Amino acid sequence: MVDKVVQHLDRAIARLAANQHGRVSLVQLQAIGLSRQAVALRTRTGRLHRVHRGVYAVGHARETNESRWMGAVLACGDGAVLSHRAAAALWRLSPPAAGPVDVTVPRKGGRSQRPGIRFHRSTTLTQPQTTRRANIPVTTPARTLLDLRACATVEELGRARRQAEVLGYRLDDAAEIEPDLTRSELERRFLRLCDRAALPSPEANARVGAYVVDFLWRHLGLIAETDGYRYHRGRATFEHDRARDAKLAAAGYEVLRLTWRQVTDESADVVAALRARLTPPLPSHSPKRRYL
């Protein structure tokens, strides 16, 4: 009779571990009928291997990325989800990285700090921003990109965003996922780009008639506008920008609009476009520009 009970429990443990990349928690083991003494016995005899306090590998301690991520989430308690860089790796937005596993827990939930786990406590994480992938609780791709803003470079975030688009993930609020570049930061990056490429230096925040433009090569009639999404989103802003561009074009100026992604991730293309416009063949006569 005792052997049958043990066999029944072992089969239940195996089924649980099979759905969780070989990892189970003490809470789950107790829920299927194991006592702490039974867990301790299985640990001593090598049927369970402790990977975190209250989390065990079943049968062997071999580790994969998925088992490492699953174990970290189980170790953090109810409501915990894989997040940040670890979530990005699970969603294939970036390569898996060594080091602590990022896990987000509710503001008042979760365990104390654990070795090998980087805790994030959140007051803004909502249920629709969490899901499961490979049966691992994880933030959605959109929320993962939001979280990455706190730990990734602009270049890394740009690559992750493009990968999410390639994979067809739903990104509910694209505006919030853009890197939080201020206007001045984007302008500084653009000026550094021009300097590194040995392009002629433009006037910054120059006045052209009634308008102040981001960058101006006045003698060539070229304007570059660096459009951070947060400052140029919405239909009304879009239409205002186009009406402004049309008036500048009517006065003889060419307006080149550049996004943060182009400036930071596609700099070679930006330099090529600028160089083509800044070193044109000498015209027989210059276009006449009207006063704005």
Task: Find where tokens 């120059």 sit.
Answer: 206
Arch. (CATH architecture) of 183-278: 3-Layer(aba) Sandwich (3.40)
CA 276 – CA 281 distance, rounded (Å):
9
Sign of the four-CA dihedral 11, 16, 18, 24: negative
Amino acid 135 reads: N
Tens digits of per-residue pLDDT, 163-201? 888 888 888 654 444 444 445 677 888 898 999 999 999
Coil, strand, or helix at residue 175?
Answer: helix
Q: Which residues contact 183 (CB under 8 A, 6 or more apart)?
A: 226, 228, 231
pLDDT reading at 212 higher than 70:
yes
pLDDT reading at 229 higher than 70:
no
In angstroms, the Cα distances linking 35 to 1, 14, 30, 76, 282 are: 17, 17, 6, 21, 87
Q: Provide the residue ranges of all domains of the chain, joining segments of one domain with +.
A: 1-60, 63-179, 183-278
Average pLDDT over residues 243-250: 90
Arch. (CATH architecture) of 1-60: Orthogonal Bundle (1.10)
Alpha helices, H only, the chain: 2-18, 26-31, 36-44, 65-75, 84-90, 141-148, 154-166, 174-177, 183-196, 235-250, 260-265, 267-278
- pTM of this prediction? 0.61
Q: Which residues contact 198 (CB under 8 A, 6 or more apart)?
A: none
Amino acid 148 reads: L
Tens digits of per-residue pLDDT, 29-51? 999 888 899 999 999 999 999 99
266-285: buried (b, 16+ CB within 10 Å) or exposed (e) per residue?
A: ebeebbeebeeeeeeeeeee
